[in-house]
Amino acid sequence: MSDKRDCSIDGVEKMYDKYVEQFPELNLIDIGGPTGLPLKDAVSVKSGTVVLLNESELDSKCMLTSSETNLEIEDLSDEAIFQLPKNLTNIQKVQITSDHYGFWRYTLECAYEHNFSEFPITEEVIKQYETILSTSQSLLVETSAC
């Protein structure tokens, strides 16, 4: 499948803004909060609810790494990758998405390629990051099986 999404930082911001704007209107996940943004509402009412990877048609249209695309985080420009955490924080008001996991995987791959003699980051930090990512992914598998 060929995808014609705009992978510039402006294109990513527009897709993510559309996602946050349209999600409440579609009422895809209603946890009874005031904003219609599930994860933001869960945090504000301290419900303990975690909202993640509920892929809807809106996700297919607005996420870079949805099941509808052949895109990966590394397909973005360097500028877009550097600014992606800011944009991921914006869509996190709704839920943890495939783009969050794609970015986390990408940063882990970059860390594996890192020359540790040039920058003071320990290999232990990388191992802890890998453990967190693999644990969260295994929890996703268990949750989706329920």
pTM of the full structure: 0.75
Residue segments in the chain with a per-residue pLDDT below the cut of 50: 1-2, 139-146
Coil, strand or helix: which one is 96? strand
pLDDT in tens, 106-127: 888 887 776 666 666 667 777 7
Domain ranges of the chain: 9-145
Region of 115 (left: φ > 0; alpha: ψ -120 to 50; beta: rest) is: beta
